[in-house]
Structure 1
C-alpha cells in the first residue's frame, strides 16, 4: 500500500497595493514589504488613484494610500471606494497632525502611519489590519487622544467636494466645471458647508481660514 504524505497548505500571502505619488518611496516600500519572509505580495504599485482603480490586480487585501495625492478627491471618498471593493485602507502621510490622523480614521481607515515612522511600523500595521485589528504607533495614539473632542460637521458628498476644490485655489467657475454643475449650485454647496462648520464652532468664512483648515485636515498640502 502506498502511503501519501499530505503537507499543510502554505499560508495565504497578503496582497497589498501601494499608492503614492513619489516613485522613490514606492520603490523603497515595495522592496521592503515584498521580502519573502514578510508574507506580503505587492500586487499594485502606482502613483495615482486612477492607476489603482484601473489595475487588474485591484482589489487587494489592503491598500496603503498616501493622504495627499493632490488629485482633489477627498480621502473619505477614496476610503469608502476601497472599502466597497472589499479592501482595507492604511493611510500614510508626511503630515501627522491631529486633524489629518483623526480625519483618516473617522473616514474608515484602519490605520494611519506617518512617513516619519519606519517601514517596520507600516509592516506591523499591515499585519494587524489583516486580522481586523487596529495598530497605532505612540505618535498616532497621542493624536487620537488629544483630538478626542473633534467634531464632524456632517457635510454631504457634494458639499465636501466643492469645499475641497475651492480650498485648493479653484475659482467658483472652475469648481462648477469640475463638478459639471452651475456656479450658483457650487456657491450653495460652499455656503451650506461653511454654515455647518460654523454650527460646530469652526469659522471658515474667509478664504484664508478655509485654506488653513484644509491644510490641517490634509485636504491640500502647504505651499
Structure 2
C-alpha cells in the first residue's frame, strides 16, 4: 500500500474512511492546476473540494482568512518569500500543506519537510498522489512519495544554520535574484529599514566563517541556496 490511509479502488484511490468536508485552497500561478485538482478530488476524495485559488502568496494571505483545511502551494512561486517560510506560516495556523515542485534538490526538499509540509509532489506523480497527499495533510500525517524517499537515501541530513521564519522571509527577499535593496525589502514587508538590517545581520552572523569575516550579500545568497533555504 503506497499511500498511508488510501486503498486501491480500480484505477482510482479512495480513503478507507469517508472524510468530512475538506476545504482545499490552491496557491499556484496556473488556474488550470487548481481546476485539474478540483476534478481529481471529485472522483478520488469525496468530501474534499477546491474552495479557492489564488495566483500569489500575498493574495492568499490577504484574502484567505484562514478558512482552508489544506493548502496546495507551488514551490516555484516567485513571491512572498521562500517556500519553507510559507509552509511554517501555514502549519503554525493549523493548516495542512501539500507542496507541488519540480526541484529535485535534496536540501531544499528537506527544508520544506522540516518546516512542516505534509507532502512534496513532483510532476511525475500520478493524479491519485494529489488526493492522497491532501488526505494525509488533512489528518496531519506526513506522506513521502517513493521518489522523494529514494532521493533522500540513507544519508543523514547535513546540519545547516537555522534561520527563523522572519529571517527566512526578509533575508530571502533581500538576497533574491531581483537584487532588492534594504529600503525596498522594508517597504515590501511594512518594516523599518533598521529592522531589516537587524534580520540581515542575524543571518550573516549565523553564516560567518571560522575566521570571523562577515559574508557578503552574494555569498549569503549562495550559501542559502546551497543549504536549500531559497531557490537558485
Q: TM class by shorter-chain length?
A: 0.7 to 0.9
2:203 maps to which of 193, 198, 205:
193
**Kept in 2: contact 1:102–1:147 (CA 8 A):** no
SS at match of 1:153: coil
SS at match of 1:16: strand
C-alpha distance in structure 1 between counterparts of 2:40 and 2:93, whole Å:
26
| Superposition CA RMSD, Å | 2.9
Name stretches of at least 5 consecutive residues in structure 2 with no aligned partner: 1-17
Structure 1 contact 125–135 (Cα < 8 Å) conserved: yes
User: Which consecutive aligned stretches of 4+ in structure 1 deviate over 6 angstroms post-superposition?
Assistant: none
Give the TM-score taking structure 2 as reference length.
Answer: 0.74
Q: What is the match of residue 219 of structure 1?
A: 230
Q: Structure 1 residues 89, 176: closer, same or farther in 2, change over 3 A?
A: same
Going from structure 1 to structure 2, the CA distance change for 1:122 and 1:177 (only over 3 Å counts) comes to same
The answer to which structure has the higher helix fraction is 1
* Cα shift readout 1:8-40 (whole Å, capped 9, x = no counterpart): xx752332221111223222222222x245212
From 185, 192, 195, give the equivalent of 1:181: 192
Q: Which residue of 2 aligns with 1:138?
A: 146
Aligned to 2:22: 14
Give the CA deviation at 1:99.
Answer: 1.7
Determine which of 85, 88, 93 is the counterpart of 2:93: 85
Partners in 2 of 1:110 and 1:41 — Cα distance? 18
Partner of 1:118: 126
1:4 equivalent in structure 2: none
- Rate the CA distance shift 1:204–1:212 in 2: closer, same or farther, 3 A: farther
Instruction: Give 1:3's aligned residue.
Output: none
Taking structure 1 as reference, are residues 156 and 61 closer, same or farther at Cα in structure 2, changes over 3 Å only? closer
Shift of 1:133: 2.6
CA contact (8 A) 2:88 2:165 kept: no
Distance 1:22 1:212 in 2: 29
Distance 1:28 1:77, change over 3 A: same
Equivalent position of 1:127 in the other structure: 135
Whether 1:166 and 2:174 are equivalent positions in the alignment is: yes
8 Å contact kept, 2:28–2:73 = yes
Aligned to 1:121, the other structure's residue is in SS state helix
Residue 193 of structure 1, CA deviation: 0.8
Q: Tell me the secondary structure at the aligned position of residue 207 of structure 2.
A: helix
Return 5+ residue gaps in structure 1 as ranges.
Answer: 1-9
1:210 and 2:220 matched? yes
Aligned length: 207
